[in-house]
Amino acid sequence: MSQETNRIGKLIFVPAVITLAVTMLRLVGELQGWSPRLFNREPGGPGALVGIAWLVPVFGAWLGWKLARAGSGPSGIGRATGLTLLGLAVVPLAGFLAATAGVPQQSLTTLGIFVVAAIVGVAIAMQAWPALGRTLLGYGFAARVPVAVVMLLAMLGNWGTHYDVAPPDFPAMSTLAKWFTIGLVPQLTIWIWYTIVFGGLFGIAAAAIARRQPAPAVA
């Protein structure tokens, strides 16, 4: 194991464990029919207060702070912010262009456009602050691979949670094809993009604050 891989593993260990715990809590809450405000079971689970998407800004800021204080900060705050915002803009821009071209919103074509745009956005945002980008990439996979596994189990068991309920007008297909289309692929592309760009923005903000703090004392 390389030194950097070991460093990333240590940095993301606690965030990954907390994120997994929240994923399991949400699954239990949906299976038990707890408050929809906290555990929304609708397709995509929009707005649910218990969810791992809310953790991205928190852990992005924490990881950015840790890296900056360890001397692995961005080469420039302005450059890092600009590239991250550019990586962020790619996906909504692709969605706007697809809608302008008349591509149906709930279609596999639109999903494919978002997936490609997310990969491009990740590639751009990773250049903003490579050390943070690689760390967030590791955290993103640690957070999203378990979700993909939960989605597969939920779809196989028809649990009736947001993990297995398909969007309206979703075309008929086998369970594995459904999981691959709305489970595995989005989790490992679009949600990784979300983790890197939004976690990156908060991480850069934390690094800017860290630069204003006195350097830690050296024994």
Per residue in 120-162, pLDDT (tens digit) is 999 999 999 999 999 999 999 999 999 999 999 999 999 999 9
Tokens of 45: 């689970």
The number of residues making up the chain comes to: 219
Strand (E) or helix (H) holding 98: helix 77-100
Burial of 169 (0-12, 13-18, 19+ CB in 10 A): exposed
Tokens of 174: 């086998």
Q: Which has the minimum average pLDDT: 24-38, 55-69, 91-105, 203-217?
A: 203-217
Distance in angstroms (rounded) separating the CA atoms of residues 192 and 7 = 20
64-101 pLDDT per residue, tens:
999 999 999 999 999 999 999 999 999 999 999 999 99
Report the amino acid identity of residue 177. A
Distance in angstroms (rounded) separating the CA atoms of residues 204 and 59 = 12
Tokens of 47: 């707005």
Q: Is 66 left (phi over 0), alpha (psi -120 to 50) or beta?
A: alpha
pLDDT classification of 27: cutoffs 50, 70, 90:
very high
Q: Note the pTM of the prediction, 2 decimals.
A: 0.92
Quick one: pLDDT at residue 218?
46
